[in-house]
């Protein structure tokens, strides 16, 4: 390891760990008091940049917690999870798991799942563009072609099952919802939800999928053949409407490829 890299790592550690500051100051040229002040300024800037990046990725979590509590959470995260990329848009992926481990947030057991949804939305905004396939292409295939067919999906797509109504939670914090419904917020208005995160054009979006449709999508995302996934969904839910479920997947622009059964 080069001397410069060693120094950089020690400097980064001194920002996060107060006990490492004296050793860092001993390696710097100039008055220790001046260097300590400069180190404090650098630390404040680093924390501020991390907090701003996290606030951008997790706006609803920040609103739920309030700015003071979210700032404290962001600082804890900054101390525990150093950035590994120069692009701060990529910083924050470990926040859901980090939230789940915070003892003082146990009264908000749904917050980690909400954070997972928000990070999926954040990633969806940065995902590669895609070209959706129209439903008529599927409808035009012969039964033989449909037998082993698999579907490919847009890069932005994420499916997040939760014991909490996280899609509704997120929706209730959006300006359009509040303009229509006011400030009412009731967590008990609905039960568990499967949150679908996808992108329409360049705009990320959130939908709550019915259980049978979520199970179908999960099976297709796992690489199951279309016929097999549809049969399983129909067997589990007699009210399941296969054609309607498929049409919804295509109409939302989720499907980007029809992969023949003999394809690798």
Q: Clarify whether residues 102 and 125 are in a common domain.
A: no
Give the chain's domain count. Answer: 2
Domain boundary residue, one of 66, 90, 108: 108
Given a contact cutoff of 8 angstroms between Cβ atoms, the answer to whether 225 and 149 are in contact is yes
pLDDT reported for residue 259: 93
Q: Clarify whether residues 93 and 123 are in a common domain.
A: no
Q: Clarify whether residues 132 and 207 are in a common domain.
A: yes
Average pLDDT for runs of 10 along the chain of length 264 = 74 73 75 76 83 95 95 93 83 96 94 97 92 91 87 96 93 84 68 93 90 93 93 87 91 93 66
Which domain covers residue 155, as residue numbers? 113-264
Domain boundary residue, one of 108, 135, 150: 108
pLDDT reported for residue 262: 67
Domain boundary residue, one of 73, 108, 143: 108
Given a contact cutoff of 8 angstroms between Cβ atoms, the answer to whether 214 and 161 are in contact is yes
pLDDT reported for residue 118: 98
Q: Clarify whether residues 98 and 205 are in a common domain.
A: no
Q: Clarify whether residues 231 and 148 are in a common domain.
A: yes
pLDDT reported for residue 185: 61
Q: Clarify whether residues 163 and 95 are in a common domain.
A: no
pTM: 0.86
Q: Clarify whether residues 127 and 56 are in a common domain.
A: no
Q: Clarify whether residues 21 and 60 are in a common domain.
A: yes
CA geometry: angle at 94 spanning 92 and 99, to 5°?
100
């Amino acid at each position: 390891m080069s001397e410069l890299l060693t120094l950089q790592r020690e400097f980064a550690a001194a920002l996060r760990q107060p006990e490492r500051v004296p050793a860092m100051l001993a390696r710097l040229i100039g008055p220790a008091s001046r260097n300590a002040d400069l180190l404090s300024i650098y630390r404040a800037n680093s924390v501020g940049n991390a907090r701003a990046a996290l606030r951008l990725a997790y706006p609803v979590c920040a609103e739920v917690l309030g700015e003071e509590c979210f700032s404290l959470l962001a600082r804890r995260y900054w101390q525990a999870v150093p950035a590994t990329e120069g692009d701060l848009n990529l910083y924050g992926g470990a926040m859901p798991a980090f939230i789940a481990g915070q003892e003082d947030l146990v009264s908000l057991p749904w917050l980690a799942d909400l954070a997972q949804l928000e990070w999926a939305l954040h990633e969806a905004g940065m995902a590669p563009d895609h070209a959706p396939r129209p439903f008529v292409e599927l409808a035009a295939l012969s039964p033989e072609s449909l037998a082993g067919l698999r579907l490919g999906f847009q890069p932005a797509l994420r499916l997040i099952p939760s014991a909490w109504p996280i899609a509704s939670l997120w929706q209730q914090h959006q300006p359009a919802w509040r303009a229509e419904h006011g400030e009412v917020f009731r967590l008990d208005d609905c039960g568990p939800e499967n949150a679908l995160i996808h992108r329409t054009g360049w705009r990320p979006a959130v939908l709550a999928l019915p259980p049978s449709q979520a199970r179908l999508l999960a099976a297709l995302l796992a690489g199951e053949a279309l016929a097999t996934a549809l049969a399983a969904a129909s067997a589990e839910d007699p009210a399941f409407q296969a054609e309607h479920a498929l049409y919804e997947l295509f109409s939302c622009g989720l499907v980007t490829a029809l992969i023949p059964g003999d394809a690798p």
